[in-house]
Amino acid sequence: MSLYSEKVMDHFRNPRNVGVIENPDGVGEVGNAKCGDIMKMYIKVENGILVDVKFETFGCGSAIASSSMATEMIKGKPLSEALALTNKAVTEALGGLPAYKLHCSVLAEQAVQAAILDYYKKNNIPYDPADFKNALEEHGHGDGDGE
Amino acid sequence: MKVYADNAATTKVRPEALDAYVKTSQTLFGNPSSLHSEGQRAKELLEDCRARVAAVLGADPREIYFTSGGSEADNQAILSAAKSGALKGKKKIVSTAIEHHAVLHTLEKLKKEGFEVVLLPVDGSGIVKVADAEAAIDENCCLVSVMTANNEIGTIQPVEEIGALCRAKKVPFHTDAVQAVGHLPVDVNKFGCDYLALSGHKFEGPRGVGALYCRRGAPLFNLVEGGAQERGKRAGTEDLPAIAAMTVALELAVKNLPETAKTVQTLRDFVIDGLSSIPHCALNGDRERRLAGNVSFCFEGVEGEALLLYLDDLGVCASSGSACTSGSLDPSHVLLAIGRVHDVAHGSLRLTFNENNTMEEMKYLVEAVKTVVSKVRSFSPVWRDLQTGKRQYIL
C-alpha cells in the first residue's frame, strides 16, 4: 500500500508532455509558490484542435501526475472538449487521489482552462466567461469533488 | 542501493534490544503488580531498568516514570506543571516556536483554557536566545519548556543556560529531549531540568515506550486513571519487554557515544559539503551546533514531496517539511521560524543518519539528491522563472 495509485505513480515517474512549447498559442499558469504548487500549461491550436500541449509543474507527486494526465486527456481534442475537462475526470483517470490531494486535480482543470482563455483573448475570439469560471477563481486547497 | 536516512523519524531496533524484548516476553512475562514469584521477578527487572535509565540521565530511580513514548511524557510534564501553576494563580508558560507538536499542541490546549503561552523566537540558525528566555520569565511563570535538540533542523538549544536561569528564578523547567537522548550527553543535573521526556525508538529501541524524568518534589499528575503502576502516576500494566529493550538500547547508545557521534558526524559533514554544491540551496540550522546525524536543506524551485518520492524510487528514505507531506497548507513551523519563506520552505529535505549508515551510502545519497533536484527543477515553472529573471532568487 502506497500513498498513491499505480496510475498516479506512473504519471509521476514518467510525466507525459512535460516541457515548454516555444511560441505557444496560449499559456495558463495557476496556483502559487506560497501554497507549494504551480501549474503552467502551454497549448498549440490548429483549426480549433489542441495539436500540442505541454506542462511544467512545481508541486507534489499528485500535482505532477494530475498535470500529466490532463495533458494526455486533452491533446488532439477540440477546444470544446478540453474545456469540458473536469477535475473529477482527471482524478478518476488517475485511479483516485487522497482526499487532501484533490485540489491538485482542480489545479489541472484550471490550468487547461487558463491556457485556452489566454488563446481566446490573444486571438480576440469571443467566449462565454461561464466556461472559465474555475480558471478565474482564486486557487485554494481543499477544493474539488470529494470521492 | 537502499539508504535509510530517516532516523529522526524512527530507527531500526538494534539486535541486542530485540533480544531483550524476546527474552523478557518469554521468560519474565509476569505482571510486575502480581504477588507471585513470576510477578516479582518481573518487578525486579522493571526496577532494574528504572535504575539503569536513571543512571544514564544522572537521576534517581524514583524520578523515572515509564510512558508510552515521548509525546505522553511531554504531555504529562506540561499538563502537570500547568495544573500545579494554576492552583497558585500562575498561568504563564514560556516555550519556543520550534518545539515538537507534542509540546506545541499541548500548549495550544492550555491556551484555550486561559493560560498565557509565550513562544520564544529563534535566530536564523534555529537557536533560542537565552536573553529572550530571561526577559520572558517572570513571577507568573509556571513552566519553561525548551527542547534539547530540534527534530527537523537538528539545532542544539542552550538548555544548560536556560535551566540555570529557571533555577535562579525558581520556575520549573521541562525539556523535550526525544532527539537528544542517546545522541548527546544528557544529564538532568547539568540541564537543571525538572522534567525531561525521552523516547525509545529514537535510539534503536522499540517504539511505544519512553520515559519521563520528573525531579523529586516537582508536581506530577497522571493522565490515565487506573492501577497504581509507576507509583500511581501512570496507570496500566507496564510494557516490560519494551522497557527492557529500551534500557538495553539506551545503555548501548551512550556507551560509545563520543566515538559514535564522531563517526556519524563525519557522514553528516560529507553530505552537507556534497549538497552545498547544488546551486541555490541553503542548510537549515546551525552548521556546528547540530545533532551529529542531522542534515536539513532547502532547495529553491523544488517541492519537497516530489523530491521524496523520486528519492524513494532511487532507494533513499528521507523526509521533508513541505506542506504536501503533512497534508496541511503551511510548510513546517520550524522552517518558518528560522525565516524561510513559504516558497522556499516547501522545498525542504531532511536526512538523518545513525551508526548503521556508511560512507558508501553517503556518496550514493549525495549523487541521488543532486540527480533528483535537477530532475524536479527541469520541469518546475518556478525554477524557469528564477533562471529567466522573472522571479528573484531567495537562496
For A61-83, the pLDDT digits (tens) are 999 999 999 999 999 999 999 99
Domains (ranges, CATH) in chain A?
A: 6-136 (3.90.1010.10)
Confidence class for position A137, pLDDT limits 50, 70, 90: low
* pLDDT tops 90 at residue A9: yes
E-assigned strands of chain B? 3-4, 64-67, 92-96, 116-120, 141-145, 173-176, 195-199, 210-214, 281-283, 294-299, 316-317, 348-352
How far is residue A128 CA from its own chain's centroid?
A: 19
* pLDDT tops 50 at residue A140: no
DSSP helix/strand/coil, B143: strand
DSSP helix/strand/coil, A138: coil
Looking at this predicted complex, what is its ipTM? Answer: 0.91
Q: How far is A140 from chain B (nearest CA, A)?
A: 9
Confidence class for position B320, pLDDT limits 50, 70, 90: very high
Cβ atoms B298, B284 nearer than 8 A: yes
- Alpha helices for chain B (secondary structure H): 15-27, 37-57, 70-87, 101-112, 130-136, 159-169, 188-191, 240-255, 257-276, 304-313, 323-326, 333-337, 342-345, 359-378, 381-387
Cβ atoms A80, A112 nearer than 8 A: no
User: Which residues of B, range 118-147, sit inside 8 Å of A by Cβ?
Assistant: none
User: How far is residue A80 from each of residues A41, A50, A93, B46, B141, measured CA to CA in Å?
Assistant: 17, 10, 19, 73, 66
Tens digits of residue pLDDT in B45-71: 999 999 999 999 999 999 999 999 999
Right CATH for B256-387 from 3.40.1410.10, 3.40.50.1100, 3.90.1150.10, 3.30.1490.20: 3.90.1150.10
Active site residue A60: no
Query: In the predicted model, what is the mean pLDDT of residues B285-308?
Result: 97
* pLDDT tops 80 at residue A133: no
Q: Which among B312, B319, B324, B385 is the top mutation candidate for probing chain A, defined by the most A β-carbons within 10 Å of its own β-carbon?
A: B324
Instruction: Answer whether A35 sits within 8 Å of B329, measured CB to CB.
Output: yes
Instruction: Provide the pLDDT for residue A130.
Output: 85
Instruction: Provide the pLDDT for residue A136.
Output: 64
Assigned fold of B15-254: Aspartate Aminotransferase; domain 2 (3.40.640)
Residue with cell 527492557: B244
Which residues on chain A place their C-beta less than 8 Å from a C-beta of chain B?
9, 12-13, 15, 18-20, 29, 33-40, 55-61, 63-64, 100-101, 141
How far is residue A49 CA from its own chain's centroid?
A: 17
Query: In the predicted model, what is the mean pLDDT of residues B217-244?
Result: 96
Residue with cell 513559504: B342
Tens digits of residue pLDDT in B104-114: 999 999 999 99
For the record, the C-alpha cell of B221 comes out as 499528575
Instruction: Answer whether B303 sits within 8 Å of A39, measured CB to CB.
Output: no
For the record, the C-alpha cell of B289 comes out as 551546533
DSSP helix/strand/coil, B197: strand
Cβ atoms B395, B300 nearer than 8 A: yes
**Candidate from B303, B325, B379 with C-beta closest to A56:** B379
Tens digits of residue pLDDT in B172-222: 999 999 999 999 999 999 999 999 999 999 999 999 999 999 999 999 999
Instruction: Provide the pLDDT for residue A100.
Output: 87
Tens digits of residue pLDDT in B333-377: 999 999 999 999 999 999 999 999 999 999 999 999 999 999 999
Query: In the predicted model, what is the mean pLDDT of residues B292-307?
Result: 97
* pLDDT tops 70 at residue A147: no
Give the span between the Cα atoms of B30 and B32, in whole angstroms.
6
Give the chain B residue whose CA is nearest to the CA of A102.
B327
Which residues of chain B form CATH 3.40.640.10? 15-254
DSSP A102: H
Which residues of chain B form CATH 3.90.1150.10? 256-387
Give the chain B residue whose CA is nearest to the CA of A32.
B343
B347 CB-near residues (< 8 Å, 6+ apart): B298, B299, B300, B301, B302, B303, B304, B307, B322
DSSP A143: -
Instruction: Answer whether B379 sits within 8 Å of A19, measured CB to CB.
Output: yes
Instruction: Answer whether A56 sits within 8 Å of B381, measured CB to CB.
Output: yes
Provide, as residue numbers in chain A, all residues whose Cβ is less than 8 Å from the Cβ of B393.
none
Mean pLDDT over the full length of chain B: 97
Provide, as residue numbers in chain A, all residues whose Cβ is less than 8 Å from the Cβ of B346.
33, 36
Give the chain B residue whose CA is nearest to the CA of A40.
B381
Determine how many CB atoms are found less than 10 A away from the CB of residue B15: 10
Instruction: Provide the pLDDT for residue B328.
Output: 67
Instruction: Answer whether B343 sits within 8 Å of A60, measured CB to CB.
Output: no
E-assigned strands of chain A? 26-32, 37-46, 49-58
* pLDDT tops 90 at residue A109: yes
Cβ atoms A31, B324 nearer than 8 A: no
Amino acid at site B306: A
Instruction: Answer whether A60 sits within 8 Å of B303, measured CB to CB.
Output: yes
Provide, as residue numbers in chain A, all residues whose Cβ is less than 8 Å from the Cβ of B341.
34
